[in-house]
Amino acid sequence: MSLTDQIFITMCKDILENGTSSEGQLVRPKWADGTMAHTIKKFGVVNRYDLAKEFPILTLRRTNFEKAIDEVLWIWQKKSNNIHDLGSRIWDNWADEDGSIGKAYGYQLGIKHQYPEGMFDQVDRVLYDLKHNPYSRRIITNIYVHGDLSEMNLYPCAYSMTFNVTGNKLNGILNQRSNDVLAANNWNVVQYAVLMHMLAQVSDLEVGELLHVIADAHIYDRHVKHVEDLMNREPFEAPIFRMNPDIKNFYDFKVEDFELIDYKRGKQIKGIEIAI
């Protein structure tokens, strides 16, 4: 069993056994049929992944590795807020007629600010500091900008990264206000694990730990049976992660520069409803 499978099963078991239901409360998300999408939640979940030991992708079922990378490149590399720059349709429900999701995600990372060393957007500031001041305790990104929330079609879920270099290892903390455990938990972990590998390579660092801090980790009522199915499956060993070693510029990475070798996984779950 991979460490990631163990973490996922432990988290789900804790939510289902010790979590709090939103039944009877007025909640924002709804199912396609218009009924309220209730959850069982745990507050303050922290999962730790040692990226030097294994790549943190579930084997209990398939996580779409290529699409997850495409989205993280859309946000962090293209700094886009338009779904026409994205290779999947996961943002379609939040895009306007022009394809924009408003002043969210990549839009915020691309805004330039003045620093003593010059003008940088948030991504370029991280790249600069990892090269020139790696032991700084101020290497942070934040896309939850209150002044722009009214112009975002969806408030950011994964909203902040804190990077910390210890020795020669790059560590990171991903802060997330809300996480749909079945639909998005491992998707986000895979994305930010890849991002950590990218940043480490172009900064001549080794990859270290990724901490995933979730304020509201929840399982939707119509997802419980799917989660219970996953928890009872036979897991596999983690696959081997490979990344093009020749790339030294963060903006040169493409989806095809990443691969998983020997990715064994359980069958995909069909019929998962997504609350919006």
CB 72 within 8 A of CB 66: no
Assigned token pair, 250: 């963060």
Buried b (16+ CB within 10 A) or exposed e, 48-78: ebebeebbbbbbbbebebebbbbbbbbbbbb
Q: What is the pLDDT of residue 270?
A: 86
Assigned token pair, 154: 């969806």
Binding region for dUMP: 137-138, 177-180, 188, 218-220
Helix axes 122-132, 181-202, angle to 10 degrees: 50
Domain 3-261 has CATH 3.30.572.10: yes
DSSP 3-state percent helix, strand, coil across the chain (nearest 5):
35, 25, 40
Residue ranges per structural domain of the chain = 3-261
Q: What is the pLDDT of residue 1?
A: 83
Residues of the chain with pLDDT under 50: none
Q: What is the pLDDT of residue 136?
A: 98
Binding region: 64, 137-138, 177-180, 188, 218-220, 275
Q: What is the pLDDT of residue 57?
A: 98
Of 163, 178, 162, the closest CA to residue 214 belongs to 178
Q: Nearest 10 degrees: CA dihedral of 105, 106, 107, 113?
A: 110
Q: What is the pLDDT of residue 164?
A: 98
pTM of the model: 0.97
CA atoms within 13 A on the CB side of 178: 11
CB 104 within 8 A of CB 146: no
Q: Which of 140, 145, 157, 260 is catalytic?
A: 157
12 is catalytic: no
